[in-house]
Amino acid sequence: MVRYLALPAVLAVGVAVGALVPEVSNGAKTLWAATGFDAPAKPKSEGGHVGHSHGAHSHEGHAHGDDGKEGAEGVVTLTPEQITSAKIVVAPVNKGVLSRKLTVPGTVAPDAERVGRVAAKVIGTVVELKKRLGDPVEKGEVVAVLDSREVADAKNDYIAAQVGRELQETLFERDHALRDKGISAEQQFLKARTTLIEARLKSDLARQKLSALGVPDAEVDKLAEKPNPTKKFVSIEDEHMAGLDRAPKLGLQRYELRAPIAGRVIERRVDVGAPVNDEGQEKEIYTIADLSEVWVELAVPTGDLGAIKEGQPVTLDAGDDRTATTGRIVFVSPMLDAQTRSAKVIASVKNEGMAWRPGSYATVHVAVEQESVALRLPRSALQTIEGEPVVFVRTKDGFEKREVVTGKGDAEAVEVIFGLDAGEEVAVANAFVLKAELGKAEAEHSH
CB 353 within 8 A of CB 362: no
Alpha-carbon torsion (70, 71, 73, 74), positive or negative: negative
Pair 399, 306 in one domain = no
Domain count, the chain: 5
Look at residue 63 in the predicted model and tell me its pLDDT: 36
The whole-angstrom separation of Cα 108 and Cα 318 is: 11
Domain membership of residue 51 (yes or no) is no
CB 362 within 8 A of CB 356: yes
Look at residue 344 in the predicted model and tell me its pLDDT: 85
Pair 87, 104 in one domain = no
Mention every residue, 6+ apart, whose C-beta is less than 8 A from residue 206: 154, 157, 158, 160, 161, 162
The whole-angstrom separation of Cα 388 and Cα 307 is: 35
Pair 237, 165 in one domain = yes
Torsion angles phi and psi, residue 395, rounded to 5: -125, 180
Show the domain range for 17: 2-42
Pair 277, 341 in one domain = no
- Evaluate if residue 43 carries a pLDDT over 50: no
Pair 247, 156 in one domain = yes
Domain membership of residue 49 (yes or no) is no
Q: Which residues of 129-155 are buried (b: 16+ CB within 10 A; e: fewer)?
A: bebeeeeebeeeeebbbbebebbbebb
Look at residue 69 in the predicted model and tell me its pLDDT: 43
Torsion angles phi and psi, residue 238, rounded to 5: -65, -40
User: Among 353, 371, 389, which residue terminates a domain?
Assistant: 371
Pair 130, 270 in one domain = yes
Pair 384, 262 in one domain = no
The whole-angstrom separation of Cα 360 and Cα 358 is: 6
Pair 261, 140 in one domain = yes
As a whole number, the mean pLDDT across the chain is 78
Average pLDDT over residues 121-147: 93
Domain membership of residue 48 (yes or no) is no
Domain membership of residue 322 (yes or no) is yes
Pair 232, 271 in one domain = no
pLDDT band of 174, cuts 50, 70, 90: confident
Q: What is the pLDDT of residues 105-119, one digit of tens each?
A: 899 999 999 999 999
Pair 205, 346 in one domain = no
Out of 3-12, 206-215, 224-233, 334-343, least confident range: 3-12
The whole-angstrom separation of Cα 320 and Cα 292 is: 21
187, burial (CB in 10 Å: exposed 0-12, middle 13-18, buried 19+): exposed
| Number of separate helices (H) and strands (E) present in the chain | 8, 24
The whole-angstrom separation of Cα 60 and Cα 27 is: 22
Pair 82, 204 in one domain = no
Look at residue 322 in the predicted model and tell me its pLDDT: 60
Pair 215, 359 in one domain = no
Cα 232 to chain centroid distance, Å, stands at 63
Q: What is the pLDDT of residues 357-414, one digit of tens each?
A: 899 888 898 888 788 899 999 999 999 998 899 999 999 989 999 999 999 888 789 9
Distances 409 to 51, 414, 427, 443 between C-alpha atoms, Å: 28, 4, 18, 33
User: Among 252, 278, 303, which residue terminates a domain?
Assistant: 252
